[in-house]
Chain A
Amino acid sequence: DIVMTQTPLSSPVTLGQPASISCRSSQSLVHNDGNTYLSWLHQRPGQPPRLLIYKISNRFSGVPDRFSGSGAGTDFTLKITTVEAEDVGVYYCVQATHFPYSFGQGTKLEIK
């Protein structure tokens, strides 16, 4: 089974400053069809998660362009260019290339 490891687990940031979260998989996430099904989700307290990024780097509908995803193979990164107050919460990477699907442990983004 694929293990997803996120770093850091906690990230205190200053409003207006950038933030970056890393996600590493224990095996390549390249599917037989050539796609890499690595997504990023954001969860605010008391709410279900929402999709931010799919297939490594594609912003989902309505997601601000301050969010970007990058990476390949087993190493992936979510970046926020300038953190806003509404960005607090927990960020998860998830792989849907191989069954069983698996999530990272989550990274808590909080404002300093």
Chain B
Amino acid sequence: QVQLMESGGDLVKPGGSLRLSCAGSGFIFSDYYMNWVRQAPGKGLEWVAYISSGGTTIHYAHSVEGRFTISRDNGQNSLYLEMNSLRPEDTAVYYCVRDEGCAGGTCTDWGFDVWGQGTMVTVSS
């Protein structure tokens, strides 16, 4: 079935770095735009970053721009989030989220339809 699975979450000190990974399965990964969305403990959802299907178009939330880097390897059906200069306010569950998909000139009309279970990142000394 269609699935996303994140990994790489950990406890890290302020100023440290971490790399999150997300493995997609059950669908043609390279057809879909992808996002990272995070949720701090007890808080709402915050969009973090977006990458187009081919990786050529990237957008970030202002709160992470210059510190986080989103990338993908379509050959490995994988999405990544490189996080540097981490701050306590980056503490959250990080979700890998599927966005719109396009193939043969036809696109789905929807995004946010598939979410991983999330991986926890804790930034604390």
Contact = CB atoms under 8 A, between A and B. Distances in A.
Given A39-B110, A54-B109, A100 B62 contact: yes
Contact of A96 (B61, B62, B99): B99
Interface of B: 35, 44-47, 50, 59-62, 95, 99, 109-113, 115-118
Given A101-B35, A103-B44, A103-B45, A96 B112 contact: yes
A99 B113 CA distance: 18
B61 A100 contact: yes
Nearest to A101: B47
A13 interface: no
Contact of A100 (B44, B59, B116, B118): B59
A96 B60 CA distance: 13
A94 B45 contact: yes
Q: Which 8 A-B pairs have the closest CB atoms?
A: A54-B110, A48-B115, A101-B47, A99-B59, A106-B44, A103-B45, A51-B113, A100-B61
Nearest to A47: B117
Contacts of B109: 35, 54-55, 58
A1 interface: yes
B112 A94 contact: yes
Contacts, number: 60
A100 B60 CA distance: 7
Interface of A: 1, 35, 37, 39, 41, 43, 48-51, 54-55, 58, 60, 90, 92, 94, 96, 99-106
Given A55-B110, A99-B59, A48 B116 contact: yes
12 contacts: A39-B112, A43-B45, A51-B113, A55-B109, A60-B110, A60-B113, A94-B112, A99-B50, A100-B47, A100-B62, A103-B45, A103-B46
Contacts of B46: 103
Nearest to B113: A51
A61 to B, nearest CB: 8
